[in-house]
Amino acid sequence: MNWQIVRALITKDFKLYFRNRFFALITVLALVMYIVIYFVMPQTVDETLEMAVYAPVLPPILEQAGSPGLELVLMESEEQLKEAVTDGEYLAGVVVPPDLMDKLMSGEKGQLDVYFSTDTPEELQDSITVLLEEMAYLQTGQMSSVHISPEVLGRDMVGIQIPMRDRLLPMLAVVILMMEMLGLASLISSEVVGRTVQALLITPMTIRGLFAAKLIMGVSLAFVQVLLFMAVTGGLNQQPLIIILALLLGAIMVTGIGFLVASGSKEMTTVMAWGMPAMIILSVPAFGVLAPGTVSDWVRAVPSYYLVDAVHQAVNFNAGWSDIWDNLLILLGFDIVFVWLGITVLGRKLR
């Protein structure tokens, strides 16, 4: 491959990209907008106490409970309670055994199992424990009448709660990457429609050289933008190498998808027609990070899941290589598939 030719093509592509007023404007504006969105999102978490309760026999004290800042929701089973707490629907859940009242009345010590969501702050866990002990005291008039055994379901997030804006980071990263995918697809399809690619292909430039140039251009455009975004928003403060690698693999993946979109497009309208559904599908895993429990396991079938999860784990949980290597490996697999598929389908169209 002649790298001087590849360099000439990349220079030309960047020139054309930034001379397209729409893409030049949207690239800069969108980046600024995403950074603004990040910073206007709440930095603190909502600590309103929503507590799930499973009690086959509801103690009178719980019947009367409920005040501003405290909401009790009755569950039908212990399993349902655990699932709801695990999914983050409730910050805490209490399982009240049916014989609790009998034990308390007979002077025996009762048992309460309390489950906390990973997001429940440590202070809130303590407060809930104290609240339950207080309720038992009000019911029996005796101190230490119940034994409370707390358990955090899922990863213990005590002291590391995730503010909304940090949950938003993976989604914004995916959206930035996908926007560049649309830009690349539009650039390629305009070359096909304008037949400039035909002029290129009767020079000593090979189709391999052409794809190398497009790949480098597409990846660097997406990668640099998303990296800039992450740097400004503090997304690279922990595990920077893992995050950079994940974003690079993500940029390669969207470039491959960009080739596919370009192969089915004739101009901007068809680029959007193909690109938007792809963008929506690839954004779904990020919703799972924004609102835990809203998406099921099928989300693992969406290729961007492994990018979103890797970024989320590294940025928000300081996860290391041992936690994320499998995500990165699967992402690399999707990269190979999409780039190969994109080059094959688009290459057929160009020839």
Contact residues for other proteins, defined by CB under 8 A: 2, 4-5, 8-9, 12, 15-16, 19-20, 194-196, 198-206
Nearest distance from C-beta of residue 197 to other proteins, angstroms: 8
Nearest distance from C-beta of residue 204 to other proteins, angstroms: 4
Nearer Cβ to other proteins, position 111 or 206? Answer: 206
Nearer Cβ to other proteins, position 206 or 220? Answer: 206
Nearer Cβ to other proteins, position 209 or 250? Answer: 209
Nearer Cβ to other proteins, position 15 or 348? Answer: 15
Nearer Cβ to other proteins, position 206 or 238? Answer: 206
Secondary structure of the chain as H, E, C letters: CCHHHHHHHHHHHHHHHHHCHHHHHHHHHHHHHHHHHHHHCCCCCCCCEEEEEECCCCCHHHHHCCECCEEEEECCCHHHHHHHHHCCCCCEEEECCCCHHHHHHCCCCEEEEEEECCCCCHHHHHHHHHHHHHHHHHHHCCCCCEEEEEEECCCCCCCCCCCHHHHHHHHHHHHHHHHHHHHHHHHHHHHHHCCHHHHHCCCCCCHHHHHHHHHHHHHHHHHHHHHHHHHHCCCCCCCHHHHHHHHHHHHHHHHHHHHHHHHCCCCHHHHHHHHHHHHHHHHHHHHHHHCCCCCCHHHHHCCCHHHHHHHHHHHHHCCCHHHHHHHHHHHHHHHHHHHHHHHHHHHHHHC
Nearest distance from C-beta of residue 14 to other proteins, angstroms: 12
Nearest distance from C-beta of residue 210 to other proteins, angstroms: 10
Nearest distance from C-beta of residue 20 to other proteins, angstroms: 7
Nearest distance from C-beta of residue 16 to other proteins, angstroms: 6
Nearer Cβ to other proteins, position 36 or 199? Answer: 199
